[in-house]
Amino acid sequence: MKQFVNILLTAVLICFFQAGCSQPLHQKNVFSKQDTLRGSITPERAWWDVLHYNITVEPDFASKTIKGKNIISFQILEESDLPMQIDLQYPMLIDSIWIDEIFVDKKPAYTSDLSKNFHFIQTPAFKKGSRHTLKISFHGIPKEALNPPWDGGWIWEKDEQNRPWMSVACQGLGASVWYPCKDHQSDEPDLGATLSIRSEKDLVAVGNGKLKEKIIHDDQTITWVWDVKNPINNYNIVPYIGSYVQIEDDYTGETGKNLSLNYWVLDYNKSKAEKQFEQVKPMLNCFENWFGPYPFYDDGFKLVESPHLGMEHQSAIAYGNGYMNGYRGRDLSQTGWGKNWDFILVHESGHEWFGNNITTRDIADMWVHEGFTSYSETLLTECLFGKKAANEYVQGIRLLINNDKPIIAAYNVHQEGSGDMYYKGSNLVHLIRQIINDDTLFKSITRNLNKTFYHQTVSSAEIEKFIIKKSGIDFSKIFDQYLRTTDVPVLEYKIEKQKIKYRWVNTVKDFNLKIKVDTGKETWLTPSSSWQVMDAGADYDGEKFKVDQNFYIQVKQKK
């Protein structure tokens, strides 16, 4: 009965967690023109580069509508007679367009794709290297997120005291669900973004970065102007509106810089937040040790209580874990270690390094965000409780791996891979660490990843090549095995007196993972697809053969 309960609990956790981690993208085998328009650098996107977004938004809680404008500053990469592709998802509507303060007539200079999600604006002839502005006014009823953050869109909720509470969760679905932009991860605004949010007088509006200005209007509504200095993912630019109070603190990082810490929480949760967020400074200390300095000192570190579980919104992390440890009180690893820290606080903060600092150009490579960030949970466990605890945690989360689809998906069609990008990705990073077998070198790699690709967009291939070069170890076949197939390597072995025979099966060609085994003494093996023989010595009793559990493989004894 106990075994049945454990199996049932594991199945529930897999279902629960993967629903919680998957983005609002449908897995497809056949792709349409719309998928290409959304997921690729189309010719209409390629000739211009976003420099800055200046977004103004005014939501109306009663009607669930928003209106606003976005002033897009951009630079010309190549001279072109093609129109600009601007993304704004229907039923959101464009009201007016201005290019360099010149009004653009909708006909014939403005057309839309049949889906009404993609809009093409004919511009004057621009010279390469020149800079310009595109101002777009918009309004509409944005898609509502009915089960955020897994179902993307605007969130119209009420807090426990029946007061309006609003936000957005749009990773995967895209920022164009509510504001017009170049909705592709490869083009972050190089000079940051400004977000101006107009709220009712009794509410507080919080955005990314730091508060630049607070404007009180004649009707007593308030515009809160937030400014981000650093490049930022489109889906990370998010307003929060509610009955917030502010908790202020600061953190002195490893470089000696002072980082402002601000926690915006619902007024009745202030005391809970003050206690729970004592975890922030030890966490930041751990992450700076392993990943390098926090990437956004100019914009500060914020946690904002959200009407959904959480999201890695850069410098304004959405927090909705109920001020409890674990994942809504659960330990996903079933080892006990995951209940010693707040899962949402830790995981979403880890994304500041992997996901926000280092961003993949194509969502197909999202394992770079989620695999390394999920491994930040293991590293925090190690920082707080030691390596044995960390090893147990990362081994425990293998319960959540499905091996249903490859982790890396099709490129240029806005398609994500398997949800295994989280904890299979984490175990891949852990496995790489075991093979390197030198924590000083491993730490140098994780820190230099964030230094080399600081505020940049990347591909999985670039990250893979970097790790191979810096470690001096050819991990190419290992990356192919764990990222591009669903097959778990199987180590077959058989014992014949004092000899141990072993080989790899269920692997890609030329798979070259070396592993640590215990045969009465620690031994490293480098199996191949052919049987190899090891002389275990005259004292070997034929019983001892155990693979180090830190290697995510399967082991099968042949008779």
Regarding whether 545 and 432 lie in a shared domain, the answer is no
pLDDT tier for residue 86 given thresholds of 50, 70 and 90: very high
pLDDT tier for residue 9 given thresholds of 50, 70 and 90: very low
The answer to whether 224 and 183 have CB atoms below 8 angstroms apart is no
Regarding whether 459 and 392 lie in a shared domain, the answer is yes
Regarding whether 234 and 203 lie in a shared domain, the answer is yes
pLDDT tens digits, 337-378: 999 999 999 999 999 999 999 999 999 999 999 999 999 999
- 141: β partners: none
Regarding whether 168 and 81 lie in a shared domain, the answer is yes
pLDDT tens digits, 127-185: 999 999 999 999 999 999 999 999 999 999 999 999 999 999 999 999 999 999 999 99
- In a domain? residue 516: yes
Number of Cβ atoms within 10 Å of the Cβ of 251: 17
pLDDT > 90 in the chain, percent: 88
- In a domain? residue 257: no
Regarding whether 106 and 225 lie in a shared domain, the answer is yes
Regarding whether 420 and 523 lie in a shared domain, the answer is no
- In a domain? residue 529: yes
Regarding whether 186 and 86 lie in a shared domain, the answer is yes
pLDDT tens digits, 291-334: 999 999 999 999 999 999 999 999 999 999 999 999 999 999 99
- In a domain? residue 215: yes
Regarding whether 538 and 432 lie in a shared domain, the answer is no
Q: Return the amino acid letter for 500.
A: I
- When mean pLDDT is compared across 17-21, 127-131, 273-277, 292-296, the lowest value belongs to 17-21
- In a domain? residue 14: yes
Regarding whether 125 and 144 lie in a shared domain, the answer is yes
Q: Measured between alpha carbons, how far is 119 from 103 in angstroms, rounded to an integer?
A: 16
The residue among 221, 239, 257 that closes a domain is 239
Q: What CATH number should be reported for the domain holding residue 543?
A: 2.60.40
pLDDT tier for residue 80 given thresholds of 50, 70 and 90: very high
- In a domain? residue 66: yes
Nearest CA-CA partner of 413 in 6, 153, 32, 10: 32
Tokens of 61: 């809680």
Give the pLDDT score at 498: 85
pLDDT tens digits, 93-108: 999 999 998 988 776 6
Q: How far is CA 446 from CA 346, 464, 467, 542, in A?
A: 17, 12, 9, 40
The residue among 484, 516, 534 that closes a domain is 484
Query: What average pLDDT does range 482-496 have in this prediction?
Result: 96
Please give the DSSP secondary-structure letter assigned to residue 237: -
Q: Check pLDDT > 60 for residue 5.
A: no
Give the pLDDT score at 110: 87
Regarding whether 497 and 356 lie in a shared domain, the answer is no
Number of Cβ atoms within 10 Å of the Cβ of 321: 22
Q: What CATH number should be reported for the domain holding residue 227?
A: 2.60.40.1730
Q: Say which residue, 17 or 186, is predicted with more confidence.
A: 186
Question: Which strands sit side by side in the sheet containing 204-206, from one edge to the other?
Answer: 153-158, 164-169, 240-242, 204-206
Within 13 Å of residue 519, how many CA atoms lie on the same side as its CB?
A: 23
Residue with tokens 């508060």: 211
Q: Work out the mean pLDDT of the chain and round it to a whole number.
A: 94
Q: Which residues of 521-530 are buried (b: 16+ CB within 10 A; e: fewer)?
A: eeeebebeee
- In a domain? residue 359: yes
Total domains in the fold of the chain: 3
Regarding whether 537 and 399 lie in a shared domain, the answer is no
The residue among 204, 239, 274 that closes a domain is 239
Give the pLDDT score at 10: 45
Regarding whether 214 and 149 lie in a shared domain, the answer is yes
Give the pLDDT score at 25: 55
Give the pLDDT score at 27: 63
- When mean pLDDT is compared across 15-29, 44-58, 195-209, 456-470, the lowest value belongs to 15-29
Tokens of 558: 């042949």
Q: Check pLDDT > 50 for residue 7.
A: no
Which domain range does residue 499 map to?
Answer: 490-557
Q: What CATH number should be reported for the domain holding residue 477?
A: 1.10.390.10
- In a domain? residue 308: no
